[in-house]
Structure 1
Amino acid sequence: MSTPLHPQNVIALVWDFDKTLIPGYMQDPIFREYQIDDLAFWREVNALPGYCLRFGVHMHPDSAYLNHLLTYVHHGRMPGLTNARLRELGGRIQFHPGLPEFFRTVKEELARIPDAQRFELRLEHYIVSTGLREMIEGSAIRPYVDGIWASEFIESPPPPGFDPDATVNLDAVERPGALFDVHAISQIAVAYDNTSKTRALFEINKGSNTQAGIDVNAKMRQEDRRVPFKNMIYIADGPSDVPAFSVMRQSGGTAYAVYLSDKGTERAREDSRRSLEQVERLRKDGRVDHYGPADYRPESPTADWLLMRIRQIAEGIVAERREALKARVGAPPVHLPH
C-alpha cells in the first residue's frame, strides 16, 4: 500500500465574507470615504448587465461591481483609490459580534480534544469572497486567517513591449496621457464570482493552495487529498452561495448558513426577517445542514453548533488515526505460560 500524500489531520472552516462575517458589504467604508450613495451605486451595478445587453455585451452580474468601481475611479469620483488605500479602508470594517475572537477560540477548543495534539490536528480558517482581497488583508480578522480568495486590482499595468524581467515598481511610474489616474486601481487582476468559489474549495481539498506543485485540475486519490471534504465546514449567508453549498453537501462536507439577527431599527428588523426566510428555504431545499444567527459570541447558537461540529470532525479523525496505528503496529511479545 502506497504512503498517502497528506496525513489528513486538518479541519478547514471556509468563510464567505459579506453578511457572513460582517453586517453589510465590505465596500461600505469606500463609499463613506468618497461620499458615494451606496444604494445608488448598487442600483447602477444591478442595472449594468441589462444595460450592456442592449449593445450585445454580456456582463457577469457577480463581478459587474468591479468594473463599476473602476468607472467611478476613471471619472474622478474615487480619486487616489489604490490597493494600499483599499487595505487601509479595510481596517474600518466592522464585524459581527464575537469576531474575530471566535477564530482564535475554535483553535483553542480543538487543542483540548483528547489526542488532538498527539495526532497533530490543526484547524485552518479560509475566506472565499467575491469582495476585495486588499480590504480583507487590512481588516481586523486577517491575523487569524490562513488563506484568502477574493478579487484583486492592478494599479499600473505594464505597457506594450514591457520587459518581463524588469524589477521597476510600475505603480510608481508616471504615465503622461494615461486614461486612468496613474495613482489608482485601473484593471481587474482576478474576479471571483459565486461559481468560481467552488474552485477554491477544491484547491483547499487537494492542497494546491499550500503546495505549488499540485494542480487543482489534476486527478488525485481521495486518500491523498490534504483536507477531505468531510473535514470541511463552509459558512455563508444566502442563495448566492448555493454552488459552494452544493459542492460541500455532495462531497460529504458540512454546509452552515447564517442570518442577520440585528433588530435595532425597523430596517434592521426587516433585513433580519428576509435573511431568516432565505436560510430557512436553503434548509428546506436540502442546501445546508443547519443554520443560525450571525452571532459568534460564546454560547450563541452559531458558536455552539460550529464548536460541536468541529469536535465531531476532530473525534472522527482521532478515531481513524488510532485504528490506523493499531493496524500498523504489531502486538508486543508476551511471556507464554508453561
Structure 2
Amino acid sequence: MSRKRPRMAICYDFDGTLAPGNMQEYDYIPRLKITSQNFWEQVRQRAVEQEADEILSYMCLMLEKANADKSQGIRITKQAFADYAQKVTLYKGVDEWFPRINEYGRQRGLNVEHYIISSGIREMIAGTSIAKEFTKIYASSFMYDQNGVAYWPALAVNYTTKTQFLFRINKGFLNEWDNAGINSYLEKSQRPIPFERMIYIGDGYSDVPCMRLVKEQGGTSIAVYKPRTKGKRDIAEKLLSEGRVDMFAAADYRKDKMLDVMVKGLIDRIAADYQVNELKEACRSK
C-alpha cells in the first residue's frame, strides 16, 4: 500500500470566525471618526445606488475616505494594513489551535493544511499573528503603485465567489488568476484534496455557499458563534436546522472545547476513511 501522507484542508472565514467582528472596525474605521454602523450603512447605500457589489463598495469607500482628508493620517498602503492588523483580537485559543491540530493530524497519518477564504482584506489578515499558519490566504485585496499605495481593487471576494477557492484547493491550482487550470478537467481521484477531506468553518449567511458546497460534496461544514452574545447561537442553530451545516459550536478554539473535540473527531474519521479506501485499492490490485 502507498505510504504517502494524505492531505486534508480546514478552510476558515475570518471575520466572526477566527476573530470577533469585522477587521476594519478595530483600527481603520475608528480613525475615520465615525461609527462602524455609519460606515457599513454608507457601504450598503453605495451598493444600492450604484447597483454594485457590497465588497467592491466597501473597498471603494475605504479608498475614498483615506484620500478625502490626508490630515487624519489615514493610509491605505500595504504597511498600513499590517499596522491596522495589530489591533485585531482573535478568539480564545486561536493562536494555539494550529500547531495542536497539525500534530493531531500528523499522529493519524494526515497532513493538515489551513486556508482562509474571507471577504475581508488580505493584507490585514497577512499582518496578524496567525498568518504564517495558512497555506494560502484568499481574501479581498488591492492593487498598489510603486510606493505601495492602494489605488484599485485587485480581488473582491463575496459570498458566492468564495466557492471558487474551494475548487482551487480541491484541484491544487492555488493562485487567484489561473482560470484555465481551475476549469480544466481533473479526475476526482487525481485531485490533491478531495472534498471528503475538507472541513469548512464559518459564522454566518455569507458562508452559506461554501458551507453547502463542502457539505454536499462529502466534506463537513461547521458553524461557529461568538460565545455569550445574544442571537449569535440562534444563527448557528438555524444554519443547522436549514441543512446548511453539519454541526455548530462556540468560537472557542481552546483544547478540549467543543470545537476542538469536533475537529479532532473529523480528523479521526478522515484518517479511517482513507485507510479503508487504501485497503480496498489493495484488494482490487491483487
- TM-score, scaled relative to structure 2: 0.91
1:24-75 residue CA offsets vs partner (Å, 9 max, x unmatched)? 111122223454422211121122222x2xxxx3211243211110110121
| 2:81 aligns with one of 76, 80, 86 | 86
Aligned with residue 42 of structure 2, among 17, 38, 44: 44
Q: Aligned pair count? A: 279
Conservation of the 8 A alpha-carbon contact between 2:56 and 2:153: no
**1:39-118 to 2 correspondence within 5 Å?**
39-50=37-48, 52=49, 57-76=50-69, 79-113=74-108, 116=109
Cα distance per residue 1:209-258 (max 9 Å; x no partner): 17979711111111111111000000000111111112112211111100
Q: Of the candidates 116, 119, 129, which is equivalent to residue 130 of structure 1?
A: 119
Q: Find the aligned partners of 1:195 and 1:134 in 2 and give their Cα distance.
A: 21
Amino acid in the other structure paired with 2:149:
A
The gaps in structure 1 that reach 5 residues or longer are: 1-6, 157-169, 172-182, 264-271, 331-338
Whole-Å Cα distance in 1 between the matches of residues 63 and 133 of structure 2?
30
Give the letter for the 1:259 counterpart.
Y
Task: Report the RMSD for the aligned CA atoms in angstroms.
Answer: 2.1
Q: Contact 1:150/1:191 (CA < 8 Å) preserved in 2?
A: yes
Q: Which runs of 5+ in 2 are unaligned?
A: none
Report the CA distance shift for 1:185/1:210 in structure 2 as closer, same or farther (over 3 A): closer
Quick check: 1:194–1:240 contact (8 Å CA) kept in 2? yes
Kept in 2, the 8 Å contact 1:14–1:126? The answer is yes
SS at 1:21's partner residue?
coil
Counterpart of 1:307? 264
Q: 1:23 aligns with which of 17, 20, 24?
A: 20
Matched, 1:189 2:178: no
User: Residue 32 of structure 1 aligns with which residue?
Assistant: 30
| Residues 235 and 258 in structure 1, CA contact (< 8 A), matched pair in contact too | yes
DSSP-derived class of the 2:91 partner: coil
Give 2:207's aligned amino acid. Answer: D
Q: Assess, with a 3 A threshold, how the Cα gap between structure 1 residues 279 and 254 changes in structure 2: closer, same or farther.
A: same
Deviation at 1:315, TM superposition (A): 1.8
Structure showing the higher helix proportion among its residues: 2
Q: Residue 325 of structure 1: CA displacement? A: 4.2
Does structure 1 retain, via aligned residues, the 8 Å contact 2:32–2:65? no
Cα gap change, 1:186/1:285 in structure 2, threshold over 3 Å: closer, same or farther?
same
Q: Does the Cα contact within 8 Å between 2:10 and 2:114 map onto a contact in 1?
A: yes
Q: Which of 181, 186, 191 lines up with 1:215 in the alignment? A: 181
Q: Distance in 1 between matches of 2:189 and 2:115?
A: 22
SS in 2 for 1:230: helix
Between Structure 1 and Structure 2, whose CA radius of gyration is higher?
Answer: 1
Q: CA deviation at 1:141?
A: 0.8
